[in-house]
Amino acid sequence: MQLTPGRNAATTLGLLAILLWGTVVGLIRGVSENFGAIGGAALIYTVGAIFLVLLLGFPKLRTFPRSYLVVGSILFVAYEICLSLSLGFAANRGQAIELGIVNYLWPCFTVVLAILINGQRASAWVAPGILLSVCGIVWVVGGSGGLSIERTVANVSSNPLSYGLAFSGAIIWAVYCNVTKRFADGKNGVVLFFMLTAAVLWAKYFLSTEPSLVFKGPATIELAVAGGAMAAGYAFWNVGILRGNLTLLATASYFTPVFSTFFAALWLSTPLTLAFWQGVAMVTAGSLVCWAATRGKPSRNG
């Protein structure tokens, strides 16, 4: 199925993709509670791969640059596994929402790596933007008391696996964004990448000690919604950035942490403190400052 809408429709699809991505944290956590961290993630990416094939068709691998297939596959699969398992292994729903915000450090990391890898020029505002985002993460993870290095360290130490996966995922996705921009040659391998992610997760599931999967009505519906939302988000975003208003979409995408937190809190019935929302606002503002610091400044590498 080839999606070829006009500019306004493409922009609308891009905005819809942002909203769909905003549901991912809450949905992944919900599915993991019903099917297990690994089994739930494997099911989500399997359903997502099926939806993507229906939307975009099977990928024509011979038309893809080999470097993009190899590097892109490794980075994409690693990121998706880090994201899904960090949420699945969270100690509780509140911690899962925290981890979702840690994952949103990737915009700042993307800017930093763009400067280091792709020669991206940036104004001095990039430094306070990064600092604001990092302080926002510390504010969120520090709990209801706000900014506290001690409480942040204590919370991270209580579940180093999940926090480590979320932080690693943010770095990996930033690398993916910079590297694939150079190697992809305009191609989009998301269908293949979803298939590979599902395959790796199934292999991990069968080697794990997680219990057998049990499909019940509400849980199965939530699984279908999660897989469909992720798949449609990637498919619609690709259309949006190719044919839509890229400036509007880029700006809107930086507000994903706000919507993601709002949706997750509602979906998971988890009340959040004022300090948490303050931290989310800081992460979002820091990302916007980083983006503004590079806007209109061409790369030294072309």
Give residue limits of the domains in the chain: 7-294
**Average of per-residue pLDDT across 192-196:** 95
Most confidently modeled range among 19-28, 242-251, 275-284 = 19-28
Least confident of 80-84, 178-182, 293-297: 293-297
Report d(CA 289, CA 127) in Å as an integer. 9
DSSP of 153-218, one letter per residue? HHHHHHSHHHHHHHHHHHHHHHHHHHHHHHHSTT---HHHHHHHHHHHHHHHHHHS-PPPP---HH
Report the chain's mean pLDDT, rounded to a whole number.
Answer: 88
Position 235 scores a pLDDT of: 86
Q: Which of 251, 228, 218, 189 is nearest to 58 (CA)?
A: 189
Position 251 scores a pLDDT of: 81
Q: Residue 288 burial (CB < 10 Å; 0-12/13-18/19+)? A: middle
Report d(CA 166, CA 84) in Å as an integer. 9
Q: How many angstroms from the chain centroid is the CA of residue 151?
A: 26
**Average of per-residue pLDDT across 13-37:** 95
**Average of per-residue pLDDT across 171-190:** 85
Report d(CA 203, CA 91) in Å as an integer. 24
- Residue 83: pLDDT above 90? yes
Position 254 scores a pLDDT of: 86
- Residue 3: pLDDT above 60? no
Strand partners, 120: 299
Report d(CA 189, CA 76) in Å as an integer. 10
38-49 burial, b if ≥16 CB within 10 A, otherwise e? Answer: bbbbbbbbbbbb
Position 146 scores a pLDDT of: 60
Position 111 scores a pLDDT of: 84
Position 237 scores a pLDDT of: 86
* Helix, strand or coil, per DSSP, at residue 85: helix
Report d(CA 229, CA 248) in Å as an integer. 21
Residue showing tokens 């099977």: 58
Identify the band that residue 298 occupies on the pLDDT scale cut at 50, 70 and 90.
Answer: low
Report d(CA 108, CA 154) in Å as an integer. 24
What confidence tens digit (pLDDT) does each residue in 85-140 have?
Answer: 999 999 999 999 999 999 998 888 888 888 887 777 878 888 899 899 988 888 88
* Total-model pTM: 0.90
Least confident of 19-28, 126-135, 238-247, 277-286: 238-247
What confidence tens digit (pLDDT) does each residue in 131-164 have?
Answer: 999 888 888 887 666 666 777 788 889 999 999 9
- Residue 193: pLDDT above 90? yes
Count the Cβ atoms, other than its own, within 10 Å of residue 250.
14
Identify the band that residue 192 occupies on the pLDDT scale cut at 50, 70 and 90.
Answer: very high
**Average of per-residue pLDDT across 211-238:** 92
